[in-house]
């Protein structure tokens, strides 16, 4: 019975290699089995229509948006759809109390009104190429893990650099796949002039806020519209009033036909990272260290931010973007740890590893290479456990919590001798951070972080400032923080200005914030050095484990973990059963918006302007209504996504746009580690709702007229 249970569990674990709805597939490496499965599910496009390095294809309409999200090109004049939360920082930067685009939304009535965003870029993938043999050709059998890593990294940089050397408008990046067992070159072209065109009010784009984040049913109109600009030759160019809208290679057509349960659906975008092949030891470390540190420290920090944001509109605008980013990962960590426990992920991983142990024992060639694999992995994770935990809390408490420390470190590490463009952009970033900083809030956050860190780690890992607090401030963290901020010139841009102007009366290394930053970097370096040996062996062990899994299940159709490169996932539109006695439908409608508003009176997460409620209540949805006359808002599919997929295009069988992916679901938050076919869902905003809001609420029919809408 025990063996039978293990085999069933292992088969369940490896549904990732056999289910049509799982996998983040490389477009340039779709094998026959994957293409066949897609056709069987209903795909009506050939593989070369999805990806071709020589002629326009669907991949040419999909972009990496800013390096942290995805987007899709929807007009001949370079309009890009992405998520509202992906454009949130840009909307915030253009907002003020007088022009509150976060609250009221933004519409450019003409090209001249479109707002530039110097920090943004979009990246188009041109082609991919397998360079594994060349990269691993630099590895010698006599090399240890550090030497191997150095040789591999050097060769990756050389191959990538050759692309830009041949064509300065291109960028070559070599990425590792399958734990460093394969390497692929991606060739990109970036466009750096990206302008804000349309943003719905946050009551639409962020409807539900933290309450609904990662939760289904969802009623969030999570979309934003930007435009790509180029020079008059349609080539990449830095921002200039002389630039013109970019004319793309391929424009994604839009479907108003919608979907039904079981409809084919595929998602194209740039998922950030997954750990589907990670050992059980690595999962335990992730749960107890990095995830728990985010949960604890960010929870304390965000409570302070949120309290002040709710009190003051000026603070709300200043802190909106950083709160949004922080809270997203905070809730993700909570959900991930919860799902790992509830779904028995560790037990499933351990069962698979037990089966792998048997296979190694039964194969002499594998036994010779891997006999100590699991013993070594367990030992090395154990050897770095306490330092790794302390480092996770250290980073959250001192590098991500007090912004004064962040600013000090930015200034300390700033490359003033770099290219003019880089220097200017870096200085703008620092000035922008100052403009969105409230010192009283930052002091309270720092004080709280000091207390939280001390309560969570062993005294061995306390920085020297705790001794200073005890000896000079009688153990009063607040008194220490008040003194630090009072004596540092870096609490405002004044100190940076004095430093840049070479003011002889100001020695930046004597500034207490800089001194603290140096102490923090020194301690972080010491922690890394303590973990160096076990970490090196862990990297090696995880790579060997990845390779062993693929050899053991050689007949299965494997896909590599996400690594911020373009990926395709496919499956069907489908509801699910979250728990016994409950059934979740595959879509939501505008009725749900009205119901949530009514049920949550007084809750700012569900506050919606009266004019929006009136519009949704009217029932006048025009051509954007479904066959029942209803306005669909969101829908779900079993497409396999993760962070970075936000803004990814969700296409039907013909390659027509159905909507934009923007979230996963709470019941399957462990999906970065293990795909759960019965539970995992991709939440998307319906393109018809997007167009309805643009046209009917935003009165921006000129934007809709640019689109290629299928009859």
In Å, the largest CA–CA distance within the chain is 79
Model pLDDT, residue 711: 65
Alpha helix stretches (DSSP H) within 395-460: 403-412, 420-435, 439-456
Q: Tens of pLDDT along 433-454?
A: 999 999 999 999 999 999 999 9
Sort 516 into a burial class: Cβ within 10 Å, 0-12 / 13-18 / 19+: buried
- What's residue 457's pLDDT? 97
pLDDT, mean over the chain:
94
Q: Looking at the predicted structure, is the pLDDT value of residue 18 above 80?
A: no
Decide: helix, strand or coil at residue 435: helix
pLDDT over 50 (residue 15):
no
Task: Give me the residues paired with residue 177 across strands.
Answer: 182
- Look at 19 and 335; give whichever has higher pLDDT: 335
Report yes or no: 49 and 582 within 8 Å, Cβ to Cβ: no
Higher pLDDT pick, 570 / 13? 570
* C-alpha–C-alpha distance, residues 129 and 183, integer Å: 9
Please give the average per-residue pLDDT across 688-693, as a whole number.
98
Alpha helices by DSSP H, 54-174: 84-93, 101-104, 132-136, 145-166
Residue 329, pLDDT above cutoff 70: yes
Task: Please write down the long-range contacts of 239-247, taking CB distance under 8 Å and 24 or more positions apart.
Answer: 239/116, 239/118, 239/192, 239/193, 240/193, 243/193, 245/77, 245/78, 245/111, 246/77, 246/78, 246/191, 247/76, 247/77, 247/78
3-class secondary structure, 632: strand
Quick one: tokens of 405? 């420390």
Per-position DSSP letters for 447-487, written without gaps between them: HHHHHHHHHHS-GGG--THHHHHHHHSTT-HHHHHHHHHHH
Residue matched to tokens 């490389």: 26
- d(Cα 487, Cα 523) in Å, to the nearest integer? 23
Q: Which two tokens stand for residue 336?
A: 């991930």
Average pLDDT, integer, range 422-432: 88
Which residues lie below 8 Å from residue 612, measured CB to CB, with a gap of 6+? 201, 203, 204, 697
Residue range 2-121+192-275+593-704, CATH number: 2.40.10.120
Q: Which two tokens stand for residue 210?
A: 């933290």
Instruction: Round to whole Å and give the CA distance between 519 and 481.
Output: 16
Residue of 74, 429, 389 lying closest to 223 (CA atoms): 74
> Distances in Å between the alpha carbon of 573 and those of 27, 38, 307, 317, 398?
21, 14, 39, 37, 43
Among 85, 212, 290, 442, the one annotated catalytic: 85
What's the pLDDT at 1? 37
Query: Which residues have CB under 8 Å from 319's CB, separation 6+?
Result: 305, 308, 309, 436, 438, 441
Percent of the chain with pLDDT over 90: 90
Which neighbouring-strand residues pair with 73?
80
Give the mean pLDDT of 405-429: 87
Annotation marks residue 85 as catalytic: yes
SS3 assignment, position 285 = helix
Q: Which helix (H) or strand (E) holds 634?
A: strand 632-637
Q: What is the mean pLDDT of residues 345-361?
A: 96
DSSP H or E stretch at residue 230: strand 224-230
Token pair recorded at residue 386: 């306490």
How confident is the model over 216-261, as pLDDT tens digits?
A: 999 999 999 999 999 999 999 999 999 999 999 999 999 999 999 9
Structure tokens at 354: 């037990």
pLDDT above 60: residue 5: no
Give the tens place of pLDDT for each residue, 131-174: 999 999 999 999 999 999 999 999 999 999 999 999 999 999 99
What is the number of alpha carbons within 13 Å of residue 26 lying toward its C-beta?
A: 25
For 607, list phi and psi in degrees, rounded to 5. Answer: -80, 130
CB atoms within 10 A of CB 324: 20
pLDDT tens digits for 625-681?
A: 999 999 999 999 999 999 999 999 999 999 999 999 999 999 999 999 999 889 999
- C-alpha–C-alpha distance, residues 518 and 506, integer Å: 18
Would you call 679 helix, strand, or coil by DSSP?
coil
Q: How many Cβ atoms sit within 10 Å of the Cβ of residue 225?
A: 28
Helices of type H across 343-416: 345-362, 364-370, 373-394, 403-412
Strand-pairing partners, residue 174, are: 185
Mean local confidence (pLDDT), 26-55: 94
- Note whether 291 and 283 are within 8 A (CB): no
Residue (of 639, 638, 636) closest to 568 by Cα position: 639
pTM for the model stands at: 0.93
Structure tokens that stand for 692 in this block? 């309805």
612 alpha-carbon distance from chain centroid = 30
What is the SS3 assignment for 106?
strand
Q: Look at the block and give the residue holding tokens 């024992």.
A: 361
Q: Omega into 115 within 30° of 0, i.e. cis?
A: no
Return residue ranges of the chain for CATH 2.40.10.120.
Answer: 2-121+192-275+593-704
H helix or E strand, kind and range, residue 536: helix 512-552
- Which of helix, strand or coil describes residue 504? coil
Distances (CA, A) of 645 to 86, 565, 664, 693: 10, 10, 10, 23
The pair phi, psi for residue 296, each rounded to 5°, is: -70, -55
Q: What mean pLDDT comes out for the span 345-369? A: 95
In 3D space, the residue among 685, 474, 469 whose CA is nearest the CA of residue 588 turns out to be: 685
701 among known catalytic residues: no
Helical (H) or strand (E) element with 224 = strand 224-230
Q: In the prediction, which pLDDT does 4 show? A: 40
Chain center to CA of 342: 24
pLDDT score of 516 more than 80:
yes
Residue 487 designated active-site: no
Tell which residue, 265, 262, 260, has the closest CA to residue 571: 265
Contacts of 301 (CB under 8 A, 6+ apart): 326, 400, 401, 445, 448, 449
Q: Which helix (H) or strand (E) holds 588?
A: strand 587-589
Q: From CA 169, how far away is CA 230, in angstroms rounded?
A: 12
Element housing 690 (H / E): helix 687-692
> Cα(151)–Cα(145) distance, rounded to whole angstroms?
10
Quote the radius of gyration of the chain (alpha carbons, Å). 26
pLDDT exceeds cutoff 60 at 16? no
Could you tell me which residues are beta bridge partners of residue 439?
Answer: none
Confirm if 266 and 236 have CB atoms less than 8 A apart: no
Terminus-to-terminus CA distance in the chain, angstroms?
A: 57
The answer to whether 153 and 135 have CB atoms below 8 angstroms apart is no
The answer on pLDDT for 611 being more than 90 is yes
Neighbour tally for 231: CB within 10 Å:
15
**6, pLDDT greater than 70:** no
In the chain, pLDDT over 70 holds for what percent of residues?
97
Which candidate in 222, 296, 442, 686 is catalytic?
Answer: 222
**Whole-number Å distance between alpha carbons of 161 and 177:** 19
pLDDT at 10: 44
């Amino acid at each position: 019975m025990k063996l039978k249970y293990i085999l069933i569990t292992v088969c369940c674990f490896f549904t990732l290699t056999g289910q049509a709805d799982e996998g983040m597939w490389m477009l340039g490496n779709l094998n026959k089995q994957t293409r066949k499965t897609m056709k069987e599910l209903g795909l009506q496009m050939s593989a070369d229509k999805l990806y071709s390095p020589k002629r326009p294809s669907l991949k040419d309409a999909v972009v990496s948006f800013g390096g942290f999200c995805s987007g899709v090109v929807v007009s001949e004049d370079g309009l890009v759809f992405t998520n509202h939360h992906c454009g949130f920082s840009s909307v915030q930067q253009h907002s003020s109390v007088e022009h509150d685009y976060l609250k009221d939304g933004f519409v450019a009535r003409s090209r001249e009104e479109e707002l530039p965003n110097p920090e943004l870029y979009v990246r188009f993938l041109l082609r991919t190429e397998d360079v594994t043999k060349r990269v691993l050709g630099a590895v010698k059998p006599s090399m240890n893990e550090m030497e191997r890593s150095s040789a591999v990294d050097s060769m990756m940089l050389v191959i990538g650099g050759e692309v830009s050397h041949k064509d300065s408008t291109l960028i070559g990046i070599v990425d590792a796949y399958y734990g460093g067992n394969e390497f692929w070159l991606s060739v990109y072209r970036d466009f750096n002039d990206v302008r804000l065109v349309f943003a719905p009010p946050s009551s639409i784009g962020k409807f539900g806020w933290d309450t609904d984040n990662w939760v289904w049913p969802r009623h969030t109109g999570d979309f934003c519209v930007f435009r790509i600009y180029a020079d008059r030759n349609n080539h990449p160019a830095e921002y200039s009033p002389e630039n013109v809208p970019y004319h793309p290679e391929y424009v994604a057509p839009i479907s108003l036909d919608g979907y039904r349960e079981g409809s084919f659906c595929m998602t194209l975008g740039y998922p950030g990272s997954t750990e589907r092949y990670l050992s059980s030891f690595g999962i335990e470390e992730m749960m107890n260290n990095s995830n728990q540190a985010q949960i604890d420290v960010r929870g304390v920090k965000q409570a302070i931010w949120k309290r002040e944001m709710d009190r003051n509109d000026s603070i709300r605008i200043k802190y909106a973007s950083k709160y949004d980013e922080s809270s997203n990962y905070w809730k993700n960590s909570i959900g991930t740890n919860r799902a790992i426990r509830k779904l028995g992920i560790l037990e499933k991983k351990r069962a698979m590893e037990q089966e792998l142990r048997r296979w190694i024992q039964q194969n002499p060639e594998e036994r010779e290479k891997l006999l100590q694999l699991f013993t070594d992995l367990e030992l090395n994770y154990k050897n770095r456990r306490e330092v790794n935990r302390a480092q996770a809390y250290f980073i959250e408490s001192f590098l991500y919590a007090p912004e004064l420390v962040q600013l000090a470190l930015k200034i300390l590490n700033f490359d003033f001798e770099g290219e003019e463009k880089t220097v200017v952009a870096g200085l703008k970033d620092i000035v922008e951070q100052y403009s969105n900083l409230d010192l009283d809030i930052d002091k309270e956050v720092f004080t709280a972080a000091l207390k939280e860190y001390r309560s969570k780690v062993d005294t061995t890992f306390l920085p020297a400032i705790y001794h200073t607090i005890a000896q000079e401030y009688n153990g009063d963290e607040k008194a220490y923080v008040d003194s630090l901020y009072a004596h540092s010139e870096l609490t405002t841009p004044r100190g940076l200005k004095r430093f840049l102007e070479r003011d002889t009366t100001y020695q930046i290394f004597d500034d207490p914030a800089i001194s603290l930053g140096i102490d923090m970097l020194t301690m972080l370096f010491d922690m890394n050095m303590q973990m160096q040996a076990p970490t090196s062996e862990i990297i090696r062990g995880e790579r060997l484990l990845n390779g062993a899994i693929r050899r053991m299940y050689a007949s299965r159709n494997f896909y590599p973990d996400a690594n911020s490169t373009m990926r395709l996932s496919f499956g069907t539109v489908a509801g699910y059963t979250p728990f016994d006695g409950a059934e979740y439908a595959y879509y939501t409608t505008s009725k749900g918006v009205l119901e949530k508003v009514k049920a949550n009176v007084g809750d700012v997460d569900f506050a919606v302007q009266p004019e929006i409620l009136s519009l949704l209540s009217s029932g006048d949805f025009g051509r954007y209504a479904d066959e029942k006359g209803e306005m669909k808002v969101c829908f779900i599919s079993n497409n396999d996504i993760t962070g970075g997929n936000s803004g990814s295009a969700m296409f039907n069988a013909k390659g027509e746009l159905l909507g934009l992916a923007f979230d996963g679901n709470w019941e399957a938050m462990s999906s970065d580690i293990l795909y759960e076919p019965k539970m995992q869902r991709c939440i998307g905003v319906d393109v018809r709702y997007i167009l309805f809001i643009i046209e009917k609420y935003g009165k921006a029919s000129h934007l809709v007229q640019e689109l290629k809408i299928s009859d």
